[in-house]
Amino acid sequence: MSRWIAIGALFVLAGCGGGGGGGNSAVVGASNTTPPVVAGNCNAPATDAQVMACSLGRGVNLGNALDSPQEGDWGVTLSDTLFDKIKEAGFDSARLTVRWSNHAAATSPYTIDPAFFQRVDFAVDGLLSRGLYVVLDMHHYRQLDGDTLDAGEFPVADAVLEDRMVAMWQQIAERYQGRSAKLAFELYNEPHGRQTAAKWNALAARALTAVRASNPERMVVIGPVQWNSASALSGLSLPADSHLIATIHNYEPFTFTHQGASWATGSSAWLGTVCCSATQLAQMTAPLDVAAQWSSAQNVPVWVGEFGSYEQAPAASREIYTRTMRDEIERRGMRWAYWEFASGFGIYNPTTGQWKDGLRQALLGQ
């Protein structure tokens, strides 16, 4: 089952579907409720991890490039121009999403292809050299979650999936151990499916141990299961380690953000949905409140690593949604990365060199 069928099903069960957009009266601006107070939030970061989570500031995902089966398959090819544009726009950080699993051997020692590593070097160093913070993740290891493979991927034996994940992290960590502290690692994007909380907690601990062998103090980002949903934070059990940042993703209201997205089952019926009614605003902020409360209770910073809306959503609503999310996240003392820079959710068109200026302003303007 894909992420999107599962999420769609959750919507229906929760009665949050909403369907087509008719009848949503858009309300602009922040919610009236007072968000939860977060200990050590970005108004007063106290620990190294809180300082880093806040320094990530306003960021963007460099998505659909190295996380596609092969770079270019999903329309984005990395270039110095793209790195320049991210910097020029005013972002503080970039999340570099990488499908390592399609570039590592199927058998032990699971060697990562040196040519692919050089491509990742180009991106990591291109972003760091422009003064950006970088979060380097592991994305779309589909078999790990029990998902079907994408075209152009190869299967590995089920029995080696987790050892291979840990071995990939050992190699990645060793390769980048000398890079600046502005580089963070994120162990795995959106664990779900057969990655239950218990399995994921154990696997994340193993992967972290592999990272710590060469990077004792590098910041490491770990998110909960169910596609990094805030509601699964309660089941996330982090190893005792003071250099960890937790992450959540928030695509609420899903019928707005994913309308017309081919990978979200039933999404053509949502076309025309606008944003943001009071009901939608409550859907957007509820996960943020959960995350802020968890962060405060655990004294672990939370970073919102993905939110965004697809290009088929009405343009004016996308701007309202985007600015509202930015402001609501920041009001709770958290920082974020928008999904994503140069593809279907993007703010920059690499073919024409044009910005979606309204979205750029919504993210980075006054």
End-to-end CA distance of the chain: 41
Residue 60 Cβ vs ligand BGC, minimum distance, rounded to whole Å = 13
Q: How far is the CB of 138 from ligand BGC (least distance, A)?
A: 11
Which run of H or of E encompasses 311? Answer: none
User: For 222-246, b where at least 16 C-beta lie within 10 A, e where not — what string?
Assistant: bbbbbbbbbebbeebebeebebbbb
Decide whether 83 or 141 has the Cβ nearer to ligand BGC.
141
Q: Any idea what DSSP says for residue 348?
A: E
The residue among 139 and 332 lying less far from ligand BGC, judged by its C-beta, is 139
Closer residue to ligand BGC in complex, CB, 92/306: 306
Q: Which is nearer to ligand BGC, 71 or 190 (CB)?
A: 190
Residues 147-206 binding ligand BGC (CB under 6 A) are: 189-190
Query: Which lies closer to ligand BGC via its Cβ, residue 35 or residue 193?
Result: 193
The DSSP letter of residue 112 is B
Give the C-alpha distances (Å, rounded to integers) separating 317 from 24, 124, 235, 275, 325.
Answer: 11, 33, 34, 5, 12
At its nearest, how many Å lie between ligand BGC and the CB of residue 6? Answer: 13
Q: Smallest gap, in angstroms, from Cβ of residue 347 to ligand BGC?
A: 14
Minimum separation from the CB atom of position 34 to ligand BGC (A): 30
Number of residues that bind ligand BGC (CB under 6 A): 5
| Residue 139 vs 243, nearer CB to ligand BGC | 139
Q: How far apart are CA 246 and CA 304, in angstroms?
A: 9
Q: Which residue has the tokens 């544009």?
A: 85
User: Based on CB atoms, which residue is closest to ligand BGC, 108 or 349?
Assistant: 349
Tokens of 3: 């992420």
Please report how close the Cβ of residue 348 comes to ligand BGC at its closest, in angstroms. Answer: 16
- What would the DSSP string read from start to end of 113-146? PHHHHHHHHHHHHHHHTTT-EEEEE----HHHHT
Nearer to ligand BGC, 48 or 74 (CB): 74
Q: What character string, x for contact with ligand BGC (CB under 6 A) and - otherwise, covers 226-265?
A: ----------------------------------------
Residues of span 338-357 touching ligand BGC by CB under 6 A: 339
Distance of alpha carbon 121 from alpha carbon 125, whole angstroms = 6
**113-152 residues near ligand BGC, rule: CB under 6 A:** 139
* Residue 322-341 contact track with ligand BGC, rule CB under 6 A, x = bound: -----------------x--
Taking the complex as a whole, how short is the minimal distance between the CB of residue 190 and ligand BGC, in angstroms? 5
Least distance from ligand BGC to the Cβ atom of residue 141, Å: 11
HSE-up (13 A, CA, CB side) for residue 349:
8
* Cα–Cα distances in angstroms (integers) from residue 206 to residues 19, 98, 224, 239, in the given order: 42, 20, 15, 10
* Residue nearer to ligand BGC on the CB measure, 190 or 330: 190
Q: How is residue 59 written in tokens?
A: 């960021």
The distance of closest approach from Cβ of residue 173 to ligand BGC in the complex, given in angstroms and rounded to an integer, is: 22
**Bridge partner residues of 349 (DSSP):** 354
* Sole binder of ligand BGC in the list 252, 306, 328, 330 (CB under 6 A): 306
Q: Spell out the residues 6+ positions from residue 64 whose beta carbon is closer than 8 angstroms to its own.
A: 74, 75, 76, 340, 342, 343, 344
Which residues in this chain contact ligand BGC in the complex, by CB under 6 A?
139, 189-190, 306, 339
